[in-house]
Amino acid sequence: MKRFSLLVAPILLACSSLLFAAPAVEHLRLSLIPTAVSSGAAEAMVVSGGRWTTKRHLVHAAVLIEHPKGHFLFDTGLGRQTAEAFARNNWINRTLLAYEQLNPARDQLEAAGYSANDIDFILPSHLHWDHLGGLPDFPGIPVKVLPGALEEARDHGEPPAFLAEQLEGEREWQQIELNNTPYQGFERSLDLFGDGQLILVDLSGHTAGQAGLFVNLPSGKRLFLIGDTSWTERGVEQNKPRPVFVQWLSHVDSDRERNSQQLKRVHELHLRDPELLIIPAHDEFVAAGLAQFPTFEE
């Protein structure tokens, strides 16, 4: 009897870990996890030249990226603890940045059988509240950032753009160093897993150390996640920045001039390579065209 249970116990353990682990993947795949939408703003508030009569509901999303060598989240969207941190904003910012349909990435992952520990690391495009809101839901998971990002958030970050609560907690912050390999018009890059499928570039301007990520899927579909360089596809296609009055109203870009240069570079890339699907983090129409969790782009 004893021998039997000694044999059975490891099998049961192996089965249960199979049941509750994220699926091992044989090739790269990606899934958008919408975590909330903005309560609504006129398009003229989100892109220069936008209409006052068109209402936009920008999305706050996490992107799950699964590669045979690691699973990670690019951005985390809003999370279980966002409401508490957000409540400390003043009335104007709570109104301007209001959101609804909160559905944290961790809840959606768990509903699909994943655990927080199935995520190997988190790679935020930048450390603004609406990209980092889900971070406290993944305690202890390492975060990868480009140089300058964490320093700016910790030393100069102010609400509502940065919420200090989201940076708290025991966690390893790993600084990524790009190398001198040019990629798609960027002087420096990093091939994350060394196989040409996930390429990181520096899109500093919106914040210090904002990261952009090229994703080259096995199907041949190619994406470029550009964080908040622009909030909309329209901004990229027409090289239109955020309206100046929005920048004055709430200090959106750390370095507005530099962000304009980055936007121009992304715009020119779009003209050169129209097949490349450029994904501003918040454009709800672009998001709607991507596979949403638990389905995947492959």
Report the phi/psi class of residue 123: left, alpha or beta, with left for phi > 0 and alpha for psi in -120 to 50: beta
Tokens found for residue 10: 């490891």
- Closest separation in Å from C-beta 213 to Zn ion: 15
Which of 152, 228, 233, 297 forms a contact with Zn ion (CB under 5 A)? 228
- Closest separation in Å from C-beta 7 to Zn ion: 54
- Binding residues with Zn ion: total (CB under 5 A): 2
Which of 60, 128, 234, 282 forms a contact with Zn ion (CB under 5 A)? 128
Nearer to Zn ion, 29 or 160 (CB): 160
Residue 297 as a binder of Zn ion (CB under 5 A): the answer is no
- Closest separation in Å from C-beta 282 to Zn ion: 8
Nearer to Zn ion, 22 or 97 (CB): 97
**120 near 70, Cβ under 8 Å?**
yes
Q: Which region among 120-128, 168-176, 192-200, 263-271 touches Zn ion (by CB under 5 A)?
A: 120-128
CB within 8 Å of 288: residues ≥ 6 apart: none
Whole-angstrom Cα distance, residue 146 to residue 175? 6
Please give the single-letter amino acid code of residue 293: F
Q: Which region among 47-55, 114-122, 140-148, 223-231 touches Zn ion (by CB under 5 A)?
A: 223-231
50 φ, ψ (degrees, to nearest 5): -70, 160
- Closest separation in Å from C-beta 56 to Zn ion: 16
Q: Provide the 3-class DSSP secondary structure of residue 254.
A: coil
Reading across the β-sheet that carries 59-67, which strands appear in turn?
99-100, 29-38, 59-67, 70-76, 121-123, 143-145, 173-175
Neighbouring C-beta atoms of residue 256, cutoff 10 Å: 15
Q: Which region among 1-9, 63-71, 125-133, 213-221 touches Zn ion (by CB under 5 A)?
A: 125-133
DSSP 24: P
Pairing mode, strands 211-216 and 222-225: antiparallel
Give the residue from 134, 143, 58 showing the smallest Cα distance to 96. Answer: 58
Nearer to Zn ion, 197 or 254 (CB): 254
Residue 233 as a binder of Zn ion (CB under 5 A): the answer is no
Q: Which region among 80-88, 93-101, 122-130, 262-270 touches Zn ion (by CB under 5 A)?
A: 122-130
Tokens found for residue 92: 């104007």
Q: Which region among 72-80, 112-120, 164-172, 220-228 touches Zn ion (by CB under 5 A)?
A: 220-228
Range 172-191, binding Zn ion (CB under 5 A): none
Nearer to Zn ion, 186 or 231 (CB): 231
**Sites of contact with Zn ion (CB under 5 A):** 128, 228
